[in-house]
Amino acid sequence: MGGPFRPFDPGECTALEQEIGLPLPSEYRSFLAAAGGDKLDYSVHLPACAPEPVQSFDSLFQLGRDDAGEYGWGTLLGEYRRSRNGWLAENVPLAGLLPIARNGGSDVLFLDLNPASYGHVHAFVHAITWPGYLGDHVYTKAADTFDTYLDSLFIDPDTAENAWADVADSDPADPFRRTVEEWLDKGLPTWRAEPWATL
C-alpha cells in the first residue's frame, strides 16, 4: 500500500457507525487499523463489467478528517455524506451502503452494512460511450466479505508494466526500485519474463 499512512483512531470508527446507524464488520475495522494507507494498486475481476472485466479501486477512503480538518473528499464519513445526493444516488441503491474506495474514473466500491447482505462488497462502474468499452453502468457484487475481496485482488499486467517503467532506469540498489521488484515478485511471479521487464 502507498501512503500517506495515518494513525488508527477507533473513536473515528465509532463516530462513523453512529452517523450511519450500522456497525462496521470486524474484518474491515481490522483492515483500517492495520493499513491506514491511501493507495491499493491491485485489480479485481468483475465478470458483469465485460468487455472490461478487470477493474481497480485504488484510492481508499480514510478514517478521520482531511488535512483541512474537515470530513471532505477521501474520508469515509465525508464520502458517505456526499454519496446521499447527486448522480450516485440516482444509480445505486444506497441504503446501508458505505463507499470505501474509488478510482480515477469515479467508479466506487461499497461495503454493504444491511443485515441481509452484511459485509458484502459491491462495485459501481460507469459506462463509457465508446466502442469496446462498458456500454451501461454496472452495479455488481464484488465479494461476499471484505477479506474475500482482498484475497481476490491481483496485479494486472498493465499495472505491472507501468509500475516497472517508473523505476526501470533507476539504480538497482534504489530502495523504491527494490520495493517494486519485491511487490511484483510476490504478486506477479512471471513478470521478469515479460518483454517490458528489462533488468
> How many other CB atoms are found less than 10 A from the CB of residue 176?
10
| Amino acid residing at 107 | D
- pLDDT tens for 160-196 read 999 999 999 999 999 999 999 999 999 999 999 999 9
Write out residues in the chain with pLDDT < 70, as ranges: 1-5, 36-38, 199
Q: What is the pLDDT of residue 60?
A: 87
Domain ranges of the chain: 10-146, 157-193
Q: What is the pLDDT of residue 194?
A: 94
Q: What is the pLDDT of residue 162?
A: 92
Q: Evaluate if pTM is beyond 0.85.
A: yes
CATH architecture of 10-146: 3-Layer(aba) Sandwich (3.40)
Q: What is the pLDDT of residue 84?
A: 86
Q: What is the pLDDT of residue 23?
A: 95
Under DSSP, is residue 2 helix (H, G, I), strand (E, B) or coil? strand
